[in-house]
Structure formats: C-alpha cells, structure tokens
C-alpha cells in the first residue's frame, strides 16, 4: 500500500525570498593618492604579482626595490596629477568604476536580492574587503565580473586568483561564478561601434585613420599560450566588419610597454609617429580593451601620443572615450551579468 504524506511546508518554501546574490565588478587598480608614496605602494603590489611579472626571482626583486620603486613612482605621480579627479581626490578609474557599479545596480532593481559592488585588483577598495562585505550582507552566491573584454593571465586570471585566495580563508564560502571574456560579444561590438561613430560625429574633422590601441604584453607570454593577442585581433576584426572599415582605415596597435623585452607589436607610439611622418594629418585613437578611462587612456594616449603625432606632422587628433558608464557600456555589463546569473535568479 502506498502512503501519500502531505508536505505542509511547500507554500512557505515557495514564498521564501531567493538567496542573495553578490555581483562584484573588478577593474585593475589605482593608487590611493597622486603622489610618490601612493604610486609606490600601488606599483609595489602590482609588480609583485607573478601573473604580471612572471619571473619574480632575485634579479627582478633587486631591480624592483633597488631601481624601479625608487625612480618610477615620482614620474608616474606627475602623470596621475595631470588626470586626477581633484574634486573627489581619486583617479578617474575609481570614479568611473563606482559609477558603473551604481548604474548597473539601478538597472537590476527588479531583482532586489542582487547586491552590486565594485573593487580593484590592486589598491582600494580591495577585492578582499568587498567580498567580505557582500558575504556579510548575506550573499551566499557571488558573481565576479573582471572588466577586461579580452582575457589575459595578467588581468582576468589574477582576478580569479585573488577571489579564490580570499575564499580559501573562509569556512563558509559563497558559491562562485566568474564571467568569461567578452571580446567578440555582439553587444560589446555594437556598443563600441555606436560609441565611436557618435564621438567622431562630434569632431570638427574626419579622421583619415583610426588606431585601435590595446594594452601591451610581453611577446614571451603569448609564446607560452596566453590568448590575449588573438582576442584583441578578434575584437578589431569584428569591429571592422561592424563599421565597414578595412585594416588600413582601422589599425591595431599595442601600447604601454615596459622594460627591455620584446612586447606585442606594432607599438602604438611608433605607429602614430610614423603615421604623422607619412603625411596623415587627422587621426583618432580608440581603446577597446579598457572598460573605463584611466591613466593609459587619458594621459598616455590623449596627451603623450597626441603630442607625438603633432610633433611628427599631425594636425588634428582625437582620443575616443572608453565605454565607461555610458548607457551602451552599462548595457554590455548588464547583459553579461544577467546571462551568467541564469539559474540563480
């Protein structure tokens, strides 16, 4: 004989609020202050990561502590001072990432059990502090969102490393997910194309060339299997197709090289210098690998490389803003987040 036992708690269980889900946006990092000490503290943490500088042996440590951290911070502090958000006393990267978090949260109000926060991989607010804060708010599930469209071990992977490091010290861990790179996601490519087109329409000139500049990486890292270069190429290929441009009109380059090793080529500064010498007079530069404007876009491209172009014959130069906290930029992040939260909402 079969006995059917009624489950009296079914409605109560169904009426329970869903588990809280934490969404953590993570960008690279920033000094806490635009002075020598602030930059030195930031560079020490950044350059001590074996994902960034893989050979952390005695020679590197001597170079880092004996030369780099003695000379580079003062120079980079002057660069940060050129772009610093003096009103908030913070870098533009911090200002923009906070705005991205706030605006993303505002688009997710229908899901009142989602808690959105932001962190920096290096510097503050630290990933540890924000993961702890999300857990303290009752988030038993955590989605980490590395704000890097193109994957590399030196960016995306080190975010994962730090998330796992924080969780390794927890007895009661939240369930963890990490969003994948979105280097050829249709929403991302559309947002880039629309942003570029809209900005170029505001210029008093039409650029003869558009340079898509990505952060560089040692060639040796690619030789070991890092997919970063192929992701950058795929982004530019998709953007060319979307905008109807060929490889002459929309060029791919790499910026921000450091040290004496060979980095990914062609180099942005050398390319821009040569374009000026070759008679190009009107140039625009876009930076699709950066989700938010920062030192590398606002100072290195918009100021240093603009000067290089002008000194070599150029006449008109424009740096196209990153997606930042624009409607298009937030839409990309929102779609990425909702896709990866399927099954949790």
Apex CA 179: angle with CA 177 and CA 181, to 5°?
A: 150
Residues 25 and 172 in one domain: yes
The angle, 0 to 180 degrees and rounded to 10, between the axes of the packed helices 158-167 and 127-136 is 50
* Cβ within 8 Å of residue 267, ≥6 positions away: 216, 253, 254, 255, 257
Q: Which pTM does this prediction carry?
A: 0.93
Residues 88 and 193 in one domain: no
In a domain, residue 15? The reply is: no
DSSP 8-state code for residue 297: I
Is residue 169 part of an annotated ligand binding site?
A: no
Residues 28 and 97 in one domain: yes
Confidence of residue 345 (pLDDT cuts 50, 70, 90): confident
What residue numbers bound the domain in which 193 lies?
186-319
Structurally, the chain folds into a number of domains equal to 2
pLDDT digits (tens, 9 = 90+) for 90-139: 999 999 999 999 999 999 999 999 999 999 999 999 999 999 999 999 99
Half-sphere exposure of residue 120: CA atoms within 13 angstroms, side-chain side: 23
In a domain, residue 224? The reply is: yes
| pLDDT confidence of residue 259 | 84
| pLDDT confidence of residue 19 | 85
What CATH number does the domain containing 59 carry?
A: 3.40.50.1400
Is residue 299 part of an annotated ligand binding site?
A: no
* Cβ within 8 Å of residue 132, ≥6 positions away: 166
In a domain, residue 12? The reply is: no
Residues 94 and 237 in one domain: no
Residues 197 and 155 in one domain: no
Mean pLDDT confidence for 57-73? 96
Residues 105 and 221 in one domain: no
pLDDT digits (tens, 9 = 90+) for 308-336: 999 999 999 999 999 999 999 999 999 99
Distance of CA 211 to the CA centre of its chain: 19
In a domain, residue 1? The reply is: no
Residues 52 and 148 in one domain: yes
In a domain, residue 8? The reply is: no
Mean pLDDT confidence for 1-8? 44
In a domain, residue 9? The reply is: no
Residues 238 and 140 in one domain: no
Paired residues of 119 in beta bridges: 26
In a domain, residue 3? The reply is: no
pLDDT digits (tens, 9 = 90+) for 215-265: 999 999 999 999 999 999 999 999 999 999 999 999 999 999 988 899 999
CA 13 to CA 195: how far, in whole Å? 46
């Amino acid at each position: 004989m079969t006995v059917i036992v009624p489950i009296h708690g079914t409605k109560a269980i169904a009426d329970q609020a869903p588990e809280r889900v934490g969404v953590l946006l993570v960008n690279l990092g920033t000094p806490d202050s635009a002075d020598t000490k602030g930059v030195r503290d930031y560079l020490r943490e950044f350059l001590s990561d074996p994902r960034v500088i893989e050979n952390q042996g005695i020679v590197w440590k001597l170079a880092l502590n004996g030369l780099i951290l003695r000379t580079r911070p003062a120079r980079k502090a002057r660069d940060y001072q050129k772009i610093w958000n003096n009103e908030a006393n913070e870098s533009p990267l911090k200002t923009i990432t906070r705005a991205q978090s706030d605006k993303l949260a505002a688009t997710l109000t229908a899901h009142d059990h989602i808690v959105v926060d932001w962190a920096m991989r290096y510097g503050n607010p630290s990933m540890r502090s924000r993961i702890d804060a999300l857990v303290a708010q009752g988030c038993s599930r955590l989605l980490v969102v590395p704000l890097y469209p193109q994957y590399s071990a030196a960016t995306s992977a080190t975010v994962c490393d730090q998330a796992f490091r924080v969780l390794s010290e927890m007895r009661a861990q939240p369930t963890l997910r990490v969003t994948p790179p979105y280097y050829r996601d249709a929403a991302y490519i559309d947002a880039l194309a629309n942003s570029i087109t809209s900005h170029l329409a505001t210029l008093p000139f039409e650029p003869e060339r558009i340079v898509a500049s990505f952060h560089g990486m040692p060639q040796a890292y690619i030789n070991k299997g890092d997919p970063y270069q192929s992701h950058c190429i795929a982004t530019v290929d998709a953007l060319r197709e979307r905008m109807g441009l060929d490889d002459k009109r929309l060029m791919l380059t790499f910026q921000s090289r450091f040290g004496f090793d060979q980095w990914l080529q062609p180099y942005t500064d050398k390319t821009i210098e040569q374009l000026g010498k070759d008679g190009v007079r009107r140039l625009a530069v876009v930076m699709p690998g950066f989700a938010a404007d920062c030192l590398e876009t606002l100072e290195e491209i918009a100021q240093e490389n603009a000067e290089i172009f002008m000194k070599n014959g150029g006449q008109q130069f424009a740096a196209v803003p990153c997606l930042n906290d624009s409607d298009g930029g937030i839409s990309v992040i929102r779609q990425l987040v909702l896709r990866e939260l399927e099954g949790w909402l």
